[in-house]
Amino acid sequence: MTVQEFYEEVGGDYNEIMSRLRTEDRIRKFAGMFTRDESYKALVQCINDGNADDAFRAAHTMKGMCQNMAFTRLYKSSHEITEILRGKDLESAKQMLDVVTEDYNIVIAGIEKLLA
Amino acid sequence: METTKTTEAVEKNTILIADDAEINREMIKFIFDEQYNIIEAEDGEQAISIIMEYSDKLCLLFLDLLMPKKSGLDVLSFMNEEDYINYIPVIMITGEATDETDEKAYELGASDIIYKPFAPNVVMRRAKNIMELFEHRIYVERKLEKRTRQLRESREKLEKSNEFLVNALSSVVEFRSLESGEHIQRVKYFTKLFLKYIMKFYPKYDITKEKASLIVNASALHDIGKIAIPDSILLKPGKLTGEEFEEMKKHTIYGCELLEKFKQDENEFYHYCYDICRYHHERHDGKGYPDGLKGDEIPIWAQIVSVVDVYDALVSKRVYKDPFAVEEAARMIIEGECGVFSPEMIDCFGLAKQELFAVTEGEFSFADVMVK
């Protein structure tokens, strides 16, 4: 799988990421780091624990990473959940979490194929 | 000077990146890691301890706003409290622009704010500009500090030389009159004591530390006019005749004539010298000499020298009299038996009395007293 195909599959912006990171090797390296990051796990955990503050921070971190990686689709859903959590609305966050999870799983599955 | 600058540039080559997400740190790291040492911090607390440890080497800090333990704003506040903010430039990294936090970050001294996602070459340019600006500012500040220090040192040197010359000049009279060898040093010291209380309890005179030091120096010259008094009067071992005393009184005028030859109208010090020479025998009731000024017509610095001069004369041994005991001298001054002084001078005399006695009765050499 090429990097371009990967970005198409996960709903990301290939041109944008290339303009910033310049080489596909570097993009692969960063993609590897993305799978190791624990913000998503923390987000799920904190929402289940009812800890809105830490959930907000985890969502915020995730959103920032998606911006940096140009994962546009996951960026949109993590941005939305960040704003919901900024308002400490845990009930709405739970519903939004399903969307985030779906987008996140697509990205992770894509990275696994990319790095296979 | 050039060498220190180069060493500084070599040593200050470390960038601290504080962000809780590895990816975000790497995004900045790969831009700079060919040219700079990179240190990473995963949260605000780590960032603070790294700043403390590596403050000498850090040339830039990339700071995430939202981090665990301590936020980016907490780190900025810390840097303000400990003054690091003036030596290490900070670039904030944030996901979105919110006017409130941006404003706060700039208020706390952040140099720039960069929004995710960022273009590496732009970040590089902005970072380099900011580092250059800081380096230049610190360099200029150090240079200025050095200049200020040099100026202060040369001013202190000049003041010392001035004091030396004034002392040398005033001791000419002492030397000739063969008595009261340390009278001038004591008058200076007593004047200083009086000024201390004037500054503390009579702010209306607006005596600053600088003015006080000029007045103390000027007090040394109070009797400079005696240089023009003939030996037959100045050195006479007995009481002076009326005529002789009239001549003696003229030392106040002679002193001023001498000073006027070198008149410096715009110089504060000149005026203190002049006033003290001329008016240190005036009396509060207007019955002094040479001009018969009264009350607050007599400048406060001349009033001070007047009272301390009388006190020192009373407690000193002269060819024509034995010294008075300090308590007796104090009583004579306070009760107006020896000159008439303003209530303010009497008040200051009361306040300074014990310190005056200590000098009069002390065994120590005058050099020691002046150092204190």
Condensed to tens digits (0 to 9), the pLDDT of residues B124-136 reads 999 999 999 988 9
**Burial of residue B211, with CB atoms counted within 10 A of its CB: 0-12 exposed, 13-18 middle, 19 or more buried:** middle
Task: Check: CB of residue A77 under 8 Å from CB of residue A103.
Answer: yes
Nearest to B199 by CA among B73, B352, B321: B352
Among B50-64, B89-103, B266-280, the range with the most confident prediction by mean pLDDT is B266-280
Lookup: tokens for B110: 């952040």
Of B22, B95, B120, nearest to A60 by CB-CB distance is B95
What's the mean pLDDT in B152-162? 91
How many angstroms separate the CA atoms of B219 and B189, rounded? 9
Closest CB from B26, B64, B116 relative to A30: B26
Looking at CA atoms only, how far is residue A49 from chain B in angstroms? 18
When the pLDDT of each residue in chain B is averaged and rounded to a whole number, the result is 88
Q: Which residues of A touch B95 (CB under 8 A)?
A: 60, 63-64, 67
Give the whole-angstrom CA distance, residue B66 versus residue B98. Answer: 13
Q: Which residue has the higher pLDDT, B24 or B362?
A: B24
Query: Span B311-329, mean pLDDT?
Result: 86
Inter-chain contacts counted by CB atoms under 8 A, chains A and B: 50
Residue B322: pLDDT over 70: yes
| pLDDT at A59 exceeding the cut of 70 | yes
Residues of B near A (Cβ–Cβ under 8 Å) read: 20-24, 26-27, 30, 64, 66, 68, 95, 116-120
Please enumerate in sequence order all residues whose Cβ is within 8 A of that of B330, keeping only pairs 6 or more positions apart, or say none.
B311, B349, B353, B356, B357
Q: B117 and A70: CB-CB below 8 Å?
A: yes
Cα separation, A58 vs B201, whole angstroms: 64
- Which among B26, B95, B120 has the least Cβ separation from residue A33? B26
Closest residue to A68, CB basis, from B20, B27, B66:
B27
B85-114 mean pLDDT: 86
Please answer yes or no on whether A20 and B120 come within 8 Å at the CB atom. yes
Under 8 Å between Cβ of A100 and A81: yes
Q: How many Å lie between the alpha carbon of A56 and the closest alpha carbon of chain B? A: 10
DSSP assignment string, B334-352? HTTSSS---HHHHHHHHHH
3-state helix, strand, coil in chain A (%, to 5): 85, 0, 15
Which pLDDT belongs to residue B330?
93
Question: What per-residue confidence (pLDDT) applies to B102?
Answer: 83
Q: How confident is the model at residue B66 (pLDDT cuts 50, 70, 90)?
A: confident
Average pLDDT value for residue range B54-67: 90
The whole-angstrom distance between B43's CA and the closest CA on chain A is 12
Angle, to 10 degrees, between the axis of helix B209-219 and the axis of helix B268-279? 50
| Ranges B25-29, B176-180, B271-275: which has the least confidence | B176-180
Cβ of A67 within 8 Å of Cβ of B116? The answer is: yes
Catalytic residues of B: 226
Determine the average pLDDT of the residues in B152-167.
90
Q: Chain A residues with CB inside 8 Å of B63's CB?
A: none
User: What pLDDT score does B366 carry?
Assistant: 54
**% of chain B with per-residue pLDDT over 90:** 61
Query: Which of the residues B19, B25, B27, B73 would you substitute to probe the A interface, choosing the one with the greatest number of A C-beta atoms within 10 Å?
Result: B27
Cβ-contact B343, B315 below 8 angstroms? no
Pairing verdict, β B14-18 and B37-41: parallel
Please tell me which of the candidates A20, A33, A60 has its beta carbon nearest to residue B117. Answer: A20
ipTM computed for the complex:
0.83
pLDDT > 80? residue B369: no
DSSP-assigned beta bridge partners for residue B41: B18
Compute the average pLDDT of residues A43-51: 92
Tell me the C-alpha distance between B334 and B319, whole Å: 25
Nearest-Cα residue of chain A relative to residue B119: A20
Q: What is the pLDDT of residues B229-263, one digit of tens each?
A: 998 998 888 889 999 999 999 999 999 999 999 89
Min CA distance, B61 vs chain A (Å)? 19
Q: How much is the pLDDT for B216?
A: 96
- The pLDDT tens digits for A62-73 are 998 999 899 999
Q: Do A68 and B120 touch (CB under 8 A)?
A: no
In contact, B360 and B315? CB cutoff 8 Å: yes
Q: Label residue A34 by pLDDT band (50, 70, 90).
A: very high
**Omega before B117 cis (within 30°)?**
yes
How close A98 comes to chain B (CA, Å)?
Answer: 23
pLDDT given at position B20:
87
Q: Please indicate whether, in this complex, the C-beta atoms of A61 and B120 are within 8 angstroms of each other.
A: no
Residue B95 has pLDDT above 50, yes or no: yes
- Confidence label for B117 from pLDDT (cuts 50, 70 and 90): confident
pLDDT score, position B151: 94
Asked if the Cβ–Cβ distance from B23 to A70 is below 8 Å, we say no
pLDDT at B245: 94
Q: Provide the pLDDT confidence category of residue B3 given band limits of 50, 70 and 90.
A: very low
pLDDT at B5 (0 to 100): 40
Q: What would the mean pLDDT of B52-61 be, rounded to a whole number? A: 90
pLDDT at A104: 95
Which residues of A sit within 8 Å Cβ distance of B?
Answer: 16, 19-22, 26, 29-30, 33-34, 36-37, 39, 57, 60-61, 63-65, 67-70
Q: Is residue B281 a contact partner of residue B306, using CB atoms and an 8 Å limit? A: yes
